[in-house]
Amino acid sequence: MPLPILLAGAVVGAVLAHDNQKSFLRQLDNDRKDGLQSDTGREPSELLPSPKTVKMVPGTVVCCEVYEAFIHTAVVIDNDTIIELHGSGLIRAISKKRFLDERSGQHIFSACDRYGQPLVFSLIEDLASKDIFNFYDYHLLHANCYRHTWRWLTGEDIAIERFQEFNEKLAQKAGSKIYWDVVV
């Protein structure tokens, strides 16, 4: 008898958490529209993607969800090409479509300011382009996409373990809260 009650409680809890997350994201979107700046910007979300859309712009940072557990980052070097660290350790140049292949996410998100302008970083195109076809030892926590994206962005090679940490460093570098808007 207690098992069905526990399962029902877990389902109700999950539904409430889902609704709370959507409400939080809607509030961030409303605040942004009204000119209010949040403390954190807006993280990427497949649950409720940003209503703002942008085109892919060279020199920007993009991301997508991977199996609803991780956020994968990469950089844009031209209107059709993304450079990423693949899980095999290969640095590769791929299309928008291929960036989402074999990943759970349906959207690519671009790092933008509160006005929906993609944040462009001058070093990205040159540093990332020189890295194509190189192999690196891949490690989920220490030698991951965040580390390589940060290196292409700044020239600095440091371990970054989580997306939240990457996002905070990116906001510091940009001098702006980061709003992850949908790439069209």
List helix spans (H) across the chain: 2-33, 96-100, 124-131, 145-154, 163-174
Does 16 fall in a domain?
no
The domain total for the chain is 1
Does 3 fall in a domain?
no
Does 80 fall in a domain?
yes
pLDDT at residue 68 in the model = 83
Does 17 fall in a domain?
no
Does 14 fall in a domain?
no
Does 76 fall in a domain?
yes
Does 158 fall in a domain?
yes
CATH number at residue 89: 3.90.1720.10
Question: Which tens digit of pLDDT belongs to each residue from 122-171?
Answer: 999 999 999 999 999 999 999 999 999 999 999 999 999 999 999 999 99
Does 84 fall in a domain?
yes
Record the pTM: 0.84
Mean pLDDT over all residues of the chain?
87
Torsion of CA 94, 95, 98, 100, to 10 degrees: 110
Q: Give me the domain span that covers residue 79.
A: 41-183
